[in-house]
Amino acid sequence: MRITSKGQVTIPAAIREQAGLLPDTEVEFEFDGKAVRLRPVRARKAEGRGARLVAHLRGRGDVAMSTDAIMALTRED
């Protein structure tokens, strides 16, 4: 393997599969003074896609309706 000018390297498919490195896997690097280790970051439950979406949308509502009025619309009352 050769490191590109941008610091990128291709991890062979067999090694990615053995290490469980799927597309979009967050990884971390560790240097012990002699060798570099690459490992997947253990995702915390609260950091899933749904949690990130909720965090992004929280506080962005701009409708001047009460919760009861919105619920009445969804229930067709």
pLDDT tens digits for range 28-72: 999 999 999 998 887 666 667 888 888 888 887 777 888 898 889
| Alpha carbon distance, N-terminus to C-terminus of the chain | 65
Q: CA 60 → CA 7, 15, 27, distances in Å?
A: 38, 43, 31
Domain boundaries, the chain: 13-75
Q: pTM above 0.75? A: no
